[in-house]
Amino acid sequence: MKKIYVDTCSRPYHIYITQKDWNPFIEYLGECVRSKKLLVVCDENVYRLYYPIMDNMLSKYGYKHSVAVVPPGEDTKSLKHANSLYTAALDAHLDRDSTIIALGGGVVGDLAGFIAATYMRGIGFIQIPTTLLAQIDSSIGGKVAVNHPNAKNIIGAFYQPSMVYINIDTLTTLPRQEFTGGLAELIKYGYIWDGDFLEWLEDNIDGILAYDVDTLSYAIYKACTIKSHIVEMDEDEQGIRAILNFGHTVGHAIEAATGYKVYTHGEGVALGMVYETKIAYNLGLIDYNYVRKLIHLLERCSLPTKLHGIDSSILIDKMVLDKKNRGDNIVFILPTGTGKVDSFSDIDINMLNSVLQD
């Protein structure tokens, strides 16, 4: 069992990282909730795989709980499905002392967290992430949101969980595409913060791809530690936390332009990192060996590194709607060296268009 303390101003909490054993969750749950009335939110796949375990544990220890099951996929992060969860919360008679548990990947975590943040102006919220991307990224830091058809995560809030409980065994039941998509966010941490971790990833990526428990556990712990540290410094993204968006300006535009149906979020981020690194090269911030190194590492993870069939003008239109923008400028987080990035908002549109067509 590994434990990380996240010391945010609004709500400090722990991240627990374990393997196999679900039993400690009940002990930690009792420390986090104000009543035994709970609503578990999961998608149809996770309901089949892991809700029976959760149901048995909660029943054994006297929790009055119900479950709301949503369809899998990015389309579920919508106001339509949010409304169905508000109804489920009302049907379960949740009150201000109740807690919502997000059991699933990033979509479920973002959606359930959005409901927890807004139902009765905020009730208890716990994350049990079951995908690599959710375990190392979306479950930590309190960003909760739903999508608009024109822009990703544009409707949301900062709302910290009371606990994040990670069982890495859940990764063995992930579709391979979902697992490799999470590796894009893992690689991101090396590029934005820790060059030594990046080197470790290059040396150990084969072990991660083979689900070696010790290697995977260390990678998850390291990523969670990096993100927690950044979140502690800048909880509501007024400054340094923005560096976590490396790859996301282009990546979110790709997801929105393809209707959230062609690429997973991790694949979008992988492509976003490649093209944002190429922008940095065109600005003279890095040399081309940096670009090649990123592409090679992503390709080792079977992640896409080149766009096909998306008009660059459509991508730019989507970027204009990005929530990270300031004024009329598109904001990019661009690499400036190994383990270093910075924010840029004065990118020439003609150069951006040329890079996206490359």
Q: Which of 74, 178, 185, 255 is catalytic?
A: 185
Q: How far apart are CA 235 and CA 169, in angstroms?
A: 29
296 among known catalytic residues: no
Of the listed 37, 81, 188, 227, which one is catalytic? 227
Q: Cα separation of 40 and 327, whole Å?
A: 39
The reported pTM is 0.93
Q: Answer for the pair 186, 273: CB distance below 8 angstroms, yes or no.
A: no
Separation between Cα atoms, residue 304 and residue 265, nearest integer Å:
12
- Is 265 designated active site? yes
Tokens representing 279 are: 């922008």
User: One of 245, 267, 276, 318 is an active-site residue; which one?
Assistant: 245
pLDDT for res 322: 80
Rounded mean pLDDT of 1-7?
Answer: 96
Between strands 37-43 and 99-104, the pairing is: parallel
Query: pLDDT of 69-104, one tens digit each?
Result: 999 999 999 999 999 999 999 999 999 999 999 999
199 is catalytic: no
Question: Residues 14-42: pLDDT tens digits?
Answer: 999 999 889 899 999 999 999 999 999 99
Instruction: Write b or e for each residue in 117-142: b if 16 or more Cβ atoms lie within 10 A of its Cβ, otherwise e.
Output: bbbeeebbbbbbbbbbbbbbbbbbbb
252 annotated active-site: yes
143 is catalytic: yes
Domain coordinates of the chain in residue numbers? 2-173, 182-356
CATH number of the structural domain 2-173:
3.40.50.1970
Q: Is-contact 165 135, C-beta < 8 A?
A: no
Tens digits of per-residue pLDDT, 194-233? 999 999 999 999 999 999 999 999 999 999 999 999 999 9
The CA–CA distances, whole Å, from 191 to 291, 314, 333 equal 11, 27, 11
Q: Can you tell me the distance from the alpha carbon of 328 to that of 351, in angstroms, rounded to the nearest whole number?
A: 17
185: annotated active-site residue: yes
Q: Which fold has domain 182-356?
A: Dehydroquinate synthase-like, alpha domain (1.20.1090)
Question: Does 328 score more than 80 pLDDT?
Answer: no
Parallel, antiparallel, or unpaired for β 340-344 and 332-337?
Answer: antiparallel
